Amino acid sequence: AQTVTQSQPEMSVQEAETVTLSCTYDTSESDYYLFWYKQPPSRQMILVIRQEAYKQQNATENRFSVNFQKAAKSFSLKISDSQLGDAAMYFCAYRSGGSEKLVFGKGTKLTVNP
């Protein structure tokens, strides 16, 4: 079974600085997708960024980018120019290409200090 590991239960960053959240996963499949979801205090799950395994180019969405290292099975999220609104729980998630099930990591709580 696939597993997703987030080794940082909590992280903090100064406003306007950059922070990187770590995620590793374990799979024997070649076709899969990786996601970062944000869960603010409202608890609404929001997609931050998505990466298809077959794409070598790292995904980028404005201030958010990933470092996808397929051989190392690593999928870290970099948040640049951190803002107070970025404070939330961040979940890394894996989805097999042949399934709609998401496997979530345990999450990283990000605090942004003014």
Q: Work out how close the CB of 16 gets to other proteins at its nearest, in angstroms, rounded to a whole number.
A: 27
Is residue 111 at the binding interface for other proteins, with CB under 8 A as the rule?
no
| HSE-up of residue 45 (Cα within 13 Å, Cβ side) | 9
- Residue closer to other proteins (CB basis): 16 or 47: 47
Is the Cα dihedral 43, 44, 48, 52 positive or negative? positive
Selected from 28, 30, 41, 43, the binder of other proteins by CB under 8 A is 43
Give the whole-angstrom CA distance, residue 56 versus residue 28. Answer: 18
Give the whole-angstrom CA distance, residue 6 versus residue 36. Answer: 11
Is residue 16 at the binding interface for other proteins, with CB under 8 A as the rule?
no
Cβ neighbours of 43 (radius 10 Å)? 8
Q: Work out how close the CB of 54 gets to other proteins at its nearest, in angstroms, rounded to a whole number.
A: 11
What does the binding site for other proteins look like in residue numbers (CB under 8 A)? 33, 35, 42-45, 47, 50, 52, 91, 95, 97, 100-102, 104-107, 109
